[in-house]
Amino acid sequence: MAQKSFRQALNEALHHEMRRDPNVIVLGEDVAGGSGASGQKDAWGGAFGVTKGLLGAFGPARVRDTPITESAFVGAAAGAAMTGLRPVAEIMFVDFLGVCFDQIFNQAAKFRYMFGGKAVTPLVIRATYGAGTRSASQHSQALYPIFTHVPGLKVVIPSSPYDAKGLLIQAIRDNDPVIFLENKVLYDTVGEVPDGAYTVPFGEAHIVREGGDATIVALGRMVHFAREAAEILAAEGIDCTVLDPRTTSPLDEDTLLEMAEETGRVVIVDEANPRCGMAADISSIIAEKAFGALKAPIMKVTAPHTPVPYAPNLEAAYIPDAKRIADAVRKAVAFKRS
Amino acid sequence: MTGLQLSREELLKAYRLMRMIRVFEDRVSAEMASGDIPGNTHLYAGQEASAVGICLHLSESDRIASTHRGHGHCIAKGCDVDGMMAEIFGKDTGICRGKGGSMHIADLSKGMLGANGIVGGAPPIACGAALTSQILGRNDVSVAFTGDGGINQGTTAESMNLAQVWKLPVIFAVEDNGFGEATASSFVVAGEITKRAEALGMAFAKVDGVDFFAVHEAAGEAVERARRGEGPTLLHIETPRYYGHFSGDPDNYRTAEEKAAMRRDRDCLPRFRRRVDEAKLLGLDELDKIDAEVQAAIDQAVSAARSAPQPALSSLTTDVYVRY
Ligand SMILES: Cc1ncc(C[n+]2csc(CCOP(=O)(O)OP(=O)(O)O)c2C)c(N)n1
Ligand SMILES: [Mg+2]
């Protein structure tokens, strides 16, 4: 199988689906770039290069550089989705969704329910998330818990190039609004990706690694740190399962509970802030439904309850890492009921 | 030409600030290329006459709210250049203790309410500052800087309406550099920007942002109008953007000829020098001396920033709240 970058995997998914279905359109700021200018067309292909080549392949009617008006174009994408198109709207940084929350929370998420099941809204909103690029407080957040909280939205966080492609194709074919979040630090990571189209279903966690002593649950970039931690621990004789839920809504509770019961120790890693975050959410589910199997308290490794700082040393301290994950697992393994 | 009635001191100050911004930005660009600045920056080079032409009318109690391309606004409003450079380097001596970086430089004591990472972030904030001034009976004005991209944001349109119905002492300075990122404004801005003000019954002016004196004159009228309690003004300021959108942008969406012509024909600094020289207001030797002083000041700011300490790790969790 061919080795491809996370970026290329996403790009292929968009190409496949735009070729397959003429109702799929892509819109956002500089998804092509160079529009109206004297130089190169498709100059950017998105701020992170994910939509490169779509303009040439599908033309400016279906690949649209928008004004900097997130409320208007995300809301328009929702309206277009409800009336027959399958828009993929790109927001460079998930932080900017703050500008258009209403279109997502009050509009797209609720059409179907409010209208008594009559509406379908096959909308995908792609955005980058995450710290690690010295982009400071307004360009680094991991806001997926906020979207996960809202009924009607599906929320996807791929961790590998393979999942990125399959999950994006699934998102585009899905008939509900999907928030698709790409960790910007992962774009250049490489993995095996088939050339053809395939889907990865929502609500199915991926067991990245199996081990009987503890389960580490992680999302997006944190999956890589969880694996790193699992390798460090394996050398010490502690065998970990690493579980990647891949989608936070729907959430694969069955696999989470199964792994929690099998290992009896759970460490949840979350790049988001801790209050009302995914670590808190998943830990409450396990505490409620797998309490009897637990040999130690559920451990959470998250960012602190602060905005993302700019200075490199502060930002590094903000982001959970393999060392903190490994420490949490050791603590869980060492735990003795008194 | 009213602009030429500026005092010698004011002219020297204007030139020094414009040169300071240019040298600051060229240096940040060089430091970015060498990899020593951790984050991303959006450079203001080419647009100096706008920030300085406006801010020269303001005192410390007047407020400005800025953009992602904020270094020029900060310098023109009197922010400490050493502190700015240290902030961009992510150091403890930075103007925001290294927590904000380029896009969040702020100094409230100087009336600088922050650069902003969100396009369209400034106009509501500037309206709020103007409301403070109005309600507390002060004579202060505020300025919202935004771009040809930001003019399209809902927050900008909403703020303009709010300012007009409340007669807020605020100026919407729309710096039109022809681009929002890699997209030409002609592709995304419908109609005339000034007509958006006209439709609201708001005063407006369109000015050549390469001409310091033109900006200064139009801004003076707007500031006076606001101080008289007659409400807001929109200034549509046409400027070049010398660098790409961000440092590292290949800027391949503009032809090499277009970029060369822009730098050759649309440079506020030689334009200013010519004007004051022809009118015999200042000597070119005085200006050359300023150039050398500014260069030395920036060299000093960079070496101080380099050798400054990183923020203490304990500061990660401070200042989220006043008290918690
Ligand atoms: C709400 C929001 N959307 C998008 C962006 C990404 N972005 C940063 S600057 C910029 C272009 C802004 O154009 P303009 O207002 O003309 O300012 P200029 O960069 O030309 O100074 C964009 C789209 C952002 N920072 N915030
Ligand atoms: Mg612009």
Phi, psi for residue B161 in degrees, rounded to 5: -65, -45
Tens of pLDDT, residues B59-102: 999 999 999 999 999 999 999 999 999 999 999 999 999 999 99
CATH 3.40.120.10 fits B8-308, yes or no: no
Phi, psi for residue A229 in degrees, rounded to 5: -65, -40
Residue A338 confidence class, pLDDT cut points 50, 70, 90: confident
Tens of pLDDT, residues A264-298: 999 999 999 999 999 999 999 999 999 999 999 99
Ligand 1 atom with the smallest distance to the CA of B42 is: 19
Residues 6 or more apart in contact with residue A157 via CB below 8 angstroms: A129, A144, A181, A183, A219, A220, A246, A247, A248
Measure the CA dihedral B265/B269/B274/B275, to 10°: 110
Quick check: A138 pLDDT over 70? yes
Q: Is B240 on the interface with A (CB under 8 A)?
A: no
Res B4: pLDDT: 64
Mutate to test the interface with B, among A275, A310, A319 (most CBs of B within 10 A): A310
Task: Report yes or no: B67 and B145 within 8 Å, Cβ to Cβ.
Answer: yes
**DSSP H/E element including B207:** strand B203-208
Residue of A nearest to B101 (CA): A310
More confident residue, B71 or A338: B71
Tokens of B312: 């203490």
Q: Do the strands A190-192 and A178-183 form a parallel or antiparallel pair, or are they unpaired?
A: unpaired
Q: Do the strands B183-184 and A86-93 form a parallel or antiparallel pair, or are they unpaired?
A: unpaired
Residue B3 confidence class, pLDDT cut points 50, 70, 90: low
Q: Is A207 on the interface with B (CB under 8 A)?
A: no
Q: How far is A183 from chain B (nearest CA, A)?
A: 17
Smallest Cα–Cα separation from A270: which of A216, A214, A326, A203?
Answer: A216
Task: Report yes or no: A134 and B101 within 8 Å, Cβ to Cβ.
Answer: yes
Res B5: pLDDT: 83
* DSSP-based three-state secondary structure for A118: coil
Quick check: B10 pLDDT over 60? yes
Residues of A belonging to the active site:
139
Q: How far is B69 from chain A (nearest CA, A)?
A: 14
Q: Do the strands A206-209 and A240-244 form a parallel or antiparallel pair, or are they unpaired?
A: antiparallel
Report the C-alpha gap between B304 and A155 in whole angstroms: 46
Task: Enter the ipTM.
Answer: 0.96
Residue B36 confidence class, pLDDT cut points 50, 70, 90: confident
Quick check: B217 pLDDT over 60? yes
Quick check: B286 pLDDT over 60? yes
Of A99, A304, A314, the CB nearest to B99: A314
Calculate the alpha carbon distances from A162 to A6, A126, A159, A179, B151 in Å.
Answer: 8, 17, 9, 18, 40
Distance from the alpha carbon of residue B153 to the mean position of ligand 1, in angstroms: 10
Quick check: B246 pLDDT over 60? yes
Positive or negative torsion for Cα B294, B301, A309, A228: positive
Quick check: B120 pLDDT over 60? yes
Q: Verify whether ligand 1 is closer than 6 Å to residue B184 (CB atom).
A: no
User: Quick one: what percent of chain A has pLDDT higher than 90?
Assistant: 99
Report domain extents, chain B. Answer: 8-308
In the chain, the amino acid numbered A229 is: A
Tens of pLDDT, residues B294-312: 999 999 999 999 999 999 9
Chain mean pLDDT for chain A: 98
Domains of chain A: 3-192 (3.40.50.970), 206-334 (3.40.50.920)
Give the global pTM.
0.97
Angle between helices B48-55 and B268-278 (to 10 degrees): 60
